[in-house]
Amino acid sequence: MKYGRSYEEFEIGATYRHWPGKTVTEYDDHLFCLLTMNHHPLHLDRHYAETTTEFGRNVVVGNYVYSLLLGMSVADISGLAIANLEIESLRHVAPTFHGDTLYGETSVLGKWESKSKDDRGIVHVETTGYKQDGTIVCTFRRKVLVGKESHLAKIGGRHAGRPDPTAVR
């Protein structure tokens, strides 16, 4: 299975559909809220959400939605990245609820070679996340520093750092 892309492998205009999707559970959402200290009752208090909000139910915290989509994109976009340089924009377009399944896809908007190092380049991408019914819930644009094939060769290839197994007797 391929994991990530070198700079040369990105094509402007290409769209990579990430797989698999992820069904968001109440547990996932509450754990993320608690880990990140976001205790807003919209996310954690069912009674509050049912009686005081326009949605009538808990809404999944937006940073979890973003984090899931970013994670889904790693195998296709940043698996060989040197660094994420910038999150240029982040838009939450529609709410996600417990039980919704999220899917994502990323389009390559542009790419250019690094001005300071000739073995890498910058890839500009936009990720779109949507629910099982096709409703777009989140979009974000980012710039990723990606190694060229020459960089990968220098560091030991696509699987640099992965040890070879040795026989144990």
pLDDT one digit per residue (tens) for the chain, 169 residues: 679 999 999 999 999 999 999 999 999 999 999 999 999 999 999 999 999 999 999 999 999 999 999 999 999 999 999 999 999 999 999 999 999 999 999 999 999 999 999 999 999 999 999 999 999 999 999 999 999 999 999 998 888 888 888 866 6
CATH of the domain at 88: 3.10.129.10
Q: Which pTM does this prediction carry?
A: 0.92
In the block, residue with structure tokens 């060229």: 148
35 in a domain, yes or no?
A: no
117 in a domain, yes or no?
A: yes
| Per-residue burial over 105-141, b = 16 or more CB atoms within 10 Å of its CB, e = otherwise | bbebeebeebeeeebbbbbbbbbbbbbeeeeebbbbb
Total domains present in the chain: 1
| Per-residue burial over 63-77, b = 16 or more CB atoms within 10 Å of its CB, e = otherwise | ebbbebbbebbebbb
146 in a domain, yes or no?
A: yes
Specify the pLDDT at position 168. Answer: 67
Specify the pLDDT at position 157. Answer: 86
Q: Which residues contact 22 (CB under 8 A, 6 or more apart)?
A: 68, 72, 101, 102
